[in-house]
Amino acid sequence: MINIIKEKIIKENYRITKEEALALFNYPLEELAKAANEIRLACAPKTTSVCSIISARQGKCGENCKYCAQSVHWKTSCTSHPMIKPEDAIPQCKKAIENRVSRLSLVTSGVGLKGREFDQALECYKKIIRETDGKLLLCASHGIISYEQMVQLKEAGVVRYHHNVETSKNYFSKICTTHTYQDRIETIKNAKKAGLEICSGGIIGMGETIEDRIDLAMTIRNLEVQSVPVNILNPIPGTPLENIEKISKEEALKTIAVFRFIMPSQFIRCAAGRKSLGENGRDAFLSGANALISGDFLTVEGSTNKEDLEMLEELGLEIEKF
């Protein structure tokens, strides 16, 4: 079955069904990963994409996402800081360029960035472009914002908007109740309408079922996004999910492989939790992944650019240039 579906995807641009995706999880990882990697080689971009993020505003978030250390609803060790100033962001951007990062995103806490802080973000993007001679592709991650704000981001030089779906429609209310699944979908549609590319994925290991993960991937496929970050939950003390059992390496890699079957041509981007797979997440790239976020994440430690670049080169992956 694996090889039949693989060949149909490669040769006929076949869109796998939910039932077929669920069945794939029953096969050995070795077979599944091999086929997923062959699909990547045949259908996905030949280059790999390296991006980094800057925590542009942190903490004091009024949303109650159960996985997040930044929520005011939970007692965690997360510190807070106000909206970043351009003079603080630009050195980080220049360092990213030195480390061969091609994409960089400012990420802010809260349900959505508005008013004066949104204006500050726009000015920050404009200054980054000027000060770096346009050597970075800029992404933005500012929560649930309007179509008009998306247009302003594009005019400021942003090319891609990041907004995760996070999980399936059916499971979402078990993770967050202060905004809806549909709020997230509409935000992505607003970004697309404004002409922005989309980066949207989710978190696995939050207690969801395999079917939930398949539903998440199917939703993302239907939204026709360019980049799909896959986060593996790192349970954070003080959050409601602090004691949840971590998923196994095999389950995580199977999930990435099946995501490649569902989304043959997208950048499937290893994000938070990659290091839990061992060897810097190398096996994820042999299971269908073809991009990564390099450096630290919002509230958890990531990997260094140096070790990421060395791994990608050892795997024979060419890093996209801009």
Say what the pTM is: 0.94
Q: What is the DSSP letter of 280?
A: G
Q: What are phi and psi of 45, to 5 degrees?
A: -55, 145
The reply to whether 255 falls in a domain is yes
User: At residue 300, does pLDDT exceed 50?
Assistant: no
Q: Which residue do the tokens 């290893």 mark?
A: 270
Would you state the structure tokens that stand for residue 6, as one six-digit string? 């693989």
Task: Indicate which CATH number applies to the domain containing 215.
Answer: 3.20.20.70
Number of residues assigned to the chain: 322
By mean pLDDT, which of 100-109, 185-194, 199-208, 258-267 is the weakest? Answer: 100-109
Terminal alpha carbon distance of the chain: 40
Find out whether 143 and 111 touch, Cβ atoms under 8 Å.
Answer: yes
Classify burial at 224, counting beta carbons within 10 Å of its beta carbon; exposed 0-12, middle 13-18, buried 19 or more. exposed
Q: Which two tokens stand for residue 270?
A: 């290893």
- How many domains, in total, are found in the chain? 1
**CA nearest neighbour of 255 among 227, 234, 229:** 229
Residue 245 lies in a domain: yes
Domain-embedded: residue 2: no
Token code pair at residue 112:
């959505």
Mean pLDDT, to the nearest integer, of 192-208?
98
Per-residue confidence band for 49, with pLDDT thresholds at 50, 70 and 90: confident
**pLDDT average, residue stretch 291-300:** 64
Residue 83 makes CB contacts below 8 A (sequence gap 6+) with: 56, 57, 108, 117, 120, 121
- Neighbouring C-beta atoms of residue 85, cutoff 10 Å: 13
In a domain, 193, yes or no: yes
Paired with 162 in beta bridges are: 199
Residues facing residue 199 across a β-bridge = 162, 227
In a domain, 8, yes or no: no
Q: Please, which pLDDT band fits residue 278 given cuts at 50, 70 and 90?
A: confident
Q: Is residue 10 part of a domain?
A: no
Identify whether 94 is part of a domain: yes
Q: Which range marks the domain in which residue 141 is found?
A: 17-319
Long-range contacts of 125-129 (CB under 8 A, 24+ apart): 125/153, 125/156, 125/157, 125/158, 126/156, 126/157, 127/86, 127/90, 128/86, 128/89, 128/90, 128/93, 128/104, 128/157, 129/157
Q: Residues 161-187: what's their mean pLDDT?
A: 98
**Residue 211 CA neighbour count, 13 Å, CB half:** 4
pLDDT at 319 over 90: no
Distance between CA 117 and CA 315 in Å, rounded? 41
Q: pLDDT tens digit string along 146-162?
A: 999 999 999 999 999 99
Q: Where are the alpha helices (DSSP H) in the chain?
A: 2-12, 18-24, 29-43, 86-98, 115-131, 147-156, 169-172, 181-193, 210-223, 249-262, 282-285, 305-314
Question: Is 1 contained in some domain?
Answer: no
Using 50, 70 and 90 to split pLDDT, how confident is the model at 301?
very low
Which residues lie closer than 8 Å to 120 by C-beta, 6 or more apart? Answer: 83, 85
Q: Is the pLDDT of residue 304 over 70?
A: no
